[in-house]
Structure 1
Amino acid sequence: MIKKILKSIGPGPLVAAAFIGPGTVTVCTIAGVKFGLALLWAMVISILITVVFQEMSARLGVISQRGFAELIKTEIKNPILNIFITVLILLAIVLGNAAYQAGNISGAVLGLSVLNEVYTIDIFGLTINIYSLLIGAIAFSLLYIGNYKILERSMISLVVFMSISFVIAAIITKPDLGSILSNIITFRTPENSLLTVVALIGTTVVPYNLFLHSALAKEKWKDKSNLKLAQTDTIIAVVFGGLVSMSIIITASSLYIEGVENASDLALGLAPVYGNAAKYVLALGLFAAGITSAVTAPLAAAYVACGCLGWSTKLNSSKFRLVWMLVLLIGVIFASTGIKPVKIITIAQIANGLLLPLIALMLIWMMNQRHILGVHVNSKTQNLISVALLVFVVFLGMKSILQAFQWI
C-alpha cells in the first residue's frame, strides 16, 4: 500500500519545494512578527489560488505531453507577439530565477550559519563563503545526474525533512488552536498589512512554477489516464506546502523581535524563549528550504528557456544543462558577495508579481484550446473561478502599488 502511494507521488512536492524557499520563510516570518496570526487567512487564499493554477499546469502537461513554454512558442501565431512574449518570459523567468537562486543559496547558508560559524576564503580579492560553494555543489550534483526519478526522490526527502522541521517548530511554541482557527476564517487587514498580504500570495503563487509543473508532469506521467493522479498529487502537495507556510507564521507570531532582516532571525529568536533545540530545528528547516529551491529555480529556468527557444527539454541535453548551470553559477557568485538575501528576493518577487497576470492569462487561454486538450479543456466553472482569482490578485497588486507610492 505504502509502495503504491509513493509511486503515485509526482512533481507536486517539487512544486511545493519551489515556493517554500527562503523568500517564503522570510515573508512568513515578517507576517508573524508584525501581525501575529492575523494574516493566516491570506495563506488560505494563497493555497486556493495555487491549487487552481497548478492543477491547470499539471493537466496541460499530462494531456498535451508538452511544457507550457513549448506551447507558448507554437500556439501564439502572430510572430511579433510571439517574439515579444517569448523575450519577456525569458528575461523575467531566467533572470528572475538567477536572482531567486542567489536568495535560495543565501537562505541555505543562513540556516547553516545558525548551526556553525561561517567559513570564508579569499580569491582574487573577493571573500567567498564556503557554504555557498557547498550548496551550489549539492544543487549541481542533483541536476547534473539528469535522472528524473533520482531528482524526484531526493527532493521529496528534503521536502519531508523541511516540513517536519517547520511544523515541529510551530508545535514547540504551543500556539492557541482556537486563535489559529479564528484567524484562518476571519478576513481582516491590520494597518499597514496590505503589502504583506500581497507578498504572502506572491511568494506562494510563483509564475515559474506554472512552467515547471507542466514540464515535470509530462516527465512523470505519459498517459492521459494518469490525470487523476496528477491532480491529486497537486492538491495534496500544495495544501501541505501551505500548511508549512502557516506553521512558520505561527512560530514567528510567538516572538517579540524587531528588524527582521532574514529568516535566520526567527531561528535565533526562538533560542532565548524555547531553548537551543528549537533554534536548531528551524535552522535545519531553513537549510532544507534553501537547498530544495536552489535545485528547482535553475531547473525551471532551463525548462522555460529551452521550451521558448525550441531546444530539447531533456534533463541530460547539453543546452538544457547549459541554462541551469548559468543560473546556478550566477546564484553562487551573488550569494558569495555578501548581498543581503532580502534585497535579492524582493527584486525577484516584484518581477514575478508584474509577470503573473500575463502568464496566468496565457495559461487560462491555453486551457480552453480544444485542439490541445480535447475533452480536458476548462469547464465554464473552472474558467469562472480562475478568472475571478486572477482579478483578485491583480486588484491586490494594484492596490499595494498605489499604497507603496503613497508611502514614497
Structure 2
Amino acid sequence: MTKSLEEVHQSVATQHKKTGFRKILAFLGPAYLVSVGYMDPGNWATDIAGGSQFGYSLLWVLLMSNLMALLLQSLSARLGIVTQRDLAQASRETYSKFINYILYFLAEIAIAACDLAEVLGMAIGINLLFDIPLIEGVLITVLDTFLLLFLINKGIRKMEAFIIVLVVIIGFSFIFEMIFAEPELNKVIYGLVPSIPSSAALYIAIGIIGATVMPHNLYLHSSLVQTRKFDRTPAGIKQALKYNFIDSTIALNLAFFVNAAILILAAATFYKNGMFEVAEIQDAHKFLEPLLGTKWAPVLFAVALIAAGQSSTVTGTLAGQIVMEGYLNLRIQPWVRRIITRLIAIVPAVIVILIYGESVTGKLLILSQVILSLQLGFAIIPLIHFVSDKSKMKGFHISRTTQVAAWIIATIIVSLNAKLVYDEISSWLENSNHPTVLWLTVVPLAFGFLALLLYIIAKPFIAKAKSNIENHSPHHLKLQYTPKESYSKKNIAISVDFSKADEAALNNAFELGGIDAQYTLIHIVETVGALMYGGNVDDHETTIDEKLLLEYKDMLSQKGFKIETELGFGKPNTVIPKIINLGNFDVLVMGTHGHTGLKDILFGTTVDKLRHKISIPLLIVKK
C-alpha cells in the first residue's frame, strides 16, 4: 500500500529531542495545517451572514462546532498515529469497491466545494486590495498550485512554518478589527447560550457547522500526523497521541477565535446598525470603513482574507491527493493531482461569475459550506467505527465515554442535515412547475444516500472489517516453467513489486536460466522514510515488503530454484542500478504495467531512467 503524502511520510524525526519542550515542538504542526480549514473564506461567508442577520445569537454554534471539531480531529489523528492509515485508506480496507467509489465521489464533491470557497475568497481578497477584476483574481489562484509544490519540496516543516505565519497574520488582523469594532461584551456572553431564532438561522447554523467541522480535514489530519517519525512502541504511540492532542487544542482554539471575531465583527457593525442583509464579503469590506471610522479596517480585512484563502487552499489540495490515493489506491504525480483539484474549483467559479455576476459569490460560498456539512456523516461515521475497533487500533481504541460523545456528535450533525434536506426538497416540490421530475430524480437520490448512510453505520457492527494487504500474494502467481536442454544465463536479477507484473517477469527469467541459474529478487521500498533513513527505516510498508519478499523466496525455493533476495530503499531508478552494478549479473528482468505516453506523465516511469545506468542487458516484460 502506498503511504499518505508519501513524499513527506515520516520525514520529521522526533526521537532524538532531549528536552520535553523540544519534543512537543517536534510534534506541533499538523493541526495548524488542519486549523486553516476552519478559518477559510467559506467560514467568513457563514460567519458574516450569521452575525449580520442574527447578531451574537449564533456564537454558541461556533463554540459547539469547535468542541465537535476538537474531538473529531483528535480521533482522526489517533487513527493515523496508531494504524499508519489515513481515513480514506482505512475505508478502502473496510468497505466494498462499489461503496468506496461512492464515498470517494462524495469526498471529491466536498473537496471541490471547499476549494471553490477558497478560490472565491482569495480572489475577492485580491479584488478588494488591488482592484483586480474577480475573474482575473480567480485565474491568479492557479499559481497556488506551484507555491504548494515549492513548499512541499522544501519539506513539511517549511510548509507548516509558512501556514503558521499566515495564521498569525489573520489573528493579528482580527485583534485590531475587534479594537475598532468595540463589541458589547455582555451580548457576546449571552450569544454563547444556545438558541435558534428562525428556520433561516438553522440554514446558517448548519452552514457554520459544515464550515467548521470540515470532512476533508478528517482525511487530512489522519495523514499529516504520519509525517512524524517516532518510536513505534506502546509508550511512543501514547506520547505521540498526547502531543498531537495538545497541537490540536492550541490550533483549533486559534481557529475558534478567528471565527468568533468575524461573527462578532459582523454583529457589532452590521447588525447593530440595522444592516441585516450583509452576506457578501465585498459588502462587508465596503461598509467597514464608514461604520468603524478607520481606513485600516477594510485593509486588514482584505489582507486576512487573502491569507485565509492562501493557507486553506494549500491544505485543500493536499486533502485531494490523500482522498484519491486512499480510496482508489491510485497514485499519480502530485503536481498533476493538484492542478486537477484546482481546476475543479476554478471552472465552476468562473462559469457562475460569468453567468450571474459577482453579486452571487456570498450565496455560492454559503452553499459550498452546506454541501460540506451534508458530506460530514459519510466521513465521521467510518472514523468513529475505526477508532472504536480494538483489533484495528491495537489496544489504543477510544473509551466507551468517548464513543458515546462521538456518536452524539454524529447524531446531531446527521439529524440537522436530514432536517435541512427534508425542508429543501419539500420547498422545491411545493414551488416547482414540474414536481414529477423531482420525484423521479431528487427524491430517489436522497433515499439512496440515506440507505448508504445506514449501511455505513450498520456494516462494522455486523461484520468484522477485513484487513487486506493490497500487494499481490505470491501464492496467486501462475508459474509456467518448462525445462529445456540449454539455457543462456547463469546469474539473473529480477525486479519485483508484488503486483501482477511479477508473474511475467519470473516466467521469462526462468526461460533464460532454468533450474540451475542463480536468481536474485530485487524490491525497492519507496517511502519517504526509506529515502531519509535507508536501511534503518522501520515503517509498516517496509515490514510488509520484507515479509512478501521472503514469501516469494520460500515458495520459489520449494520449487527447486536458487533464490536470493535484495531489499533496497529509495527511488527504484537510482537504487536498482547500484545493486546491479555491484553484483555479477548476466541480465536484469523487469516487468512493466504497460502504460506509456500520458500515463507515464501521470504515474511516473522507472525503465527509461534506469536502462542507461546499468552495464548489463535489460529484459522488459509486459504483463
TM-score normalised by length of structure 1: 0.88
2:77 corresponds to which of 58, 69, 74: 58
Matched letter for residue 31 of structure 2: G
Question: 1:79 is matched with which residue?
Answer: none
**Is residue 157 of structure 1 aligned with residue 176 of structure 2?**
no
**Is residue 190 of structure 1 aligned with residue 197 of structure 2?**
yes
The whole-number CA distance in structure 2 between the counterparts of 1:95 and 1:403 is: 22
* Mean Cα deviation higher: 159-168 or 40-49: 159-168
Change beyond 3 A, Cα 1:260–1:41? same
Using the TM superposition, give the Cα deviation of residue 69 of structure 1 relative to its aligned residue in structure 2, in angstroms.
Answer: 0.9
Question: 1:211 is matched with which residue?
Answer: 219
What secondary structure, in the 3-state scheme, does the structure 2 residue paired with 1:375 have?
Answer: coil
Using the TM superposition, give the Cα deviation of residue 167 of structure 1 relative to its aligned residue in structure 2, in angstroms.
Answer: 3.2
Contact in 2 for aligned 1:144/1:321 (Cα 8 Å) = no
1:349 corresponds to which of 369, 379, 383: 369
Note the 1:25-44 alignment, pairs <5 A. 25-44=44-63
The whole-number CA distance in structure 1 between the counterparts of 2:349 and 2:405 is: 39
The Cα RMSD (Å) is 2.2
What secondary structure, in the 3-state scheme, does the structure 2 residue paired with 1:331 have?
Answer: helix
Deviations 1:161-188 (A, max 9, x none): 112222321232011222211221x111
Using the TM superposition, give the Cα deviation of residue 16 of structure 1 relative to its aligned residue in structure 2, in angstroms.
Answer: 1.1
2:124 corresponds to which of 97, 106, 110: 110
Matched letter for residue 351 of structure 1: I
2:142 corresponds to which of 120, 127, 136: 136
The whole-number CA distance in structure 2 between the counterparts of 1:398 and 1:304 is: 25
Question: 1:308 is matched with which residue?
Answer: 327
Note the 1:268-287 alignment, pairs <5 A. 268-274=286-292, 275-287=294-306
Matched letter for residue 268 of structure 2: S
1:290 corresponds to which of 299, 306, 309: 309
Using the TM superposition, give the Cα deviation of residue 72 of structure 1 relative to its aligned residue in structure 2, in angstroms.
Answer: 1.2
The whole-number CA distance in structure 2 between the counterparts of 1:365 and 1:389 is: 14
**Is residue 266 of structure 1 aligned with residue 273 of structure 2?**
no
Note the 1:4-403 alignment, pairs <5 A. 6-76=25-95, 82-119=96-133, 128-129=135-136, 131-146=137-152, 147-184=155-192, 186-192=193-199, 193-223=201-231, 224=237, 225-256=239-270, 257-274=275-292, 275-312=294-331, 318-337=332-351, 338=353, 340-403=360-423
Deviations 1:240-278 (A, max 9, x none): 211210110000002233543532322222111112111
What secondary structure, in the 3-state scheme, does the structure 2 residue paired with 1:66 have?
Answer: coil
* Mean Cα deviation higher: 335-344 or 218-227: 335-344
Aligned residues: 389
Deviations 1:107-166 (A, max 9, x none): 11111222221158xxxxxxx51x333332134222354332222111111112112222
Using the TM superposition, give the Cα deviation of residue 371 of structure 1 relative to its aligned residue in structure 2, in angstroms.
Answer: 2.5
* Mean Cα deviation higher: 96-105 or 361-370: 96-105
Runs of 4+ in structure 1 over 4 Å off:
1-6, 405-408
What secondary structure, in the 3-state scheme, does the structure 2 residue paired with 1:255 have?
Answer: helix
Matched letter for residue 265 of structure 1: D
Bigger Rg over Cα: 2
Using the TM superposition, give the Cα deviation of residue 6 of structure 1 relative to its aligned residue in structure 2, in angstroms.
Answer: 4.6
* Mean Cα deviation higher: 103-112 or 34-43: 103-112
Change beyond 3 A, Cα 1:361–1:250? same
Matched letter for residue 231 of structure 1: F
The whole-number CA distance in structure 2 between the counterparts of 1:94 and 1:403 is: 25
Matched letter for residue 311 of structure 2: T
The whole-number CA distance in structure 1 between the counterparts of 2:90 and 2:247 is: 23
For structure 1, list consecutive stretches of 5 or more residues without a partner in the other structure: 77-81, 121-127, 313-317
Change beyond 3 A, Cα 1:88–1:260? farther
The whole-number CA distance in structure 1 between the counterparts of 2:281 and 2:228 is: 33
The whole-number CA distance in structure 1 between the counterparts of 2:142 and 2:279 is: 23
Contact in 2 for aligned 1:98/1:298 (Cα 8 Å) = no
The whole-number CA distance in structure 2 between the counterparts of 1:52 and 1:5 is: 20
Question: 2:545 is matched with which residue?
Answer: none
Contact in 2 for aligned 1:65/1:222 (Cα 8 Å) = no
Contact in 2 for aligned 1:15/1:212 (Cα 8 Å) = yes
Question: 1:124 is matched with which residue?
Answer: none
For structure 2, list consecutive stretches of 5 or more residues without a partner in the other structure: 1-18, 232-236, 355-359, 429-623
TM-score normalised by length of structure 2: 0.59
Change beyond 3 A, Cα 1:36–1:346? closer
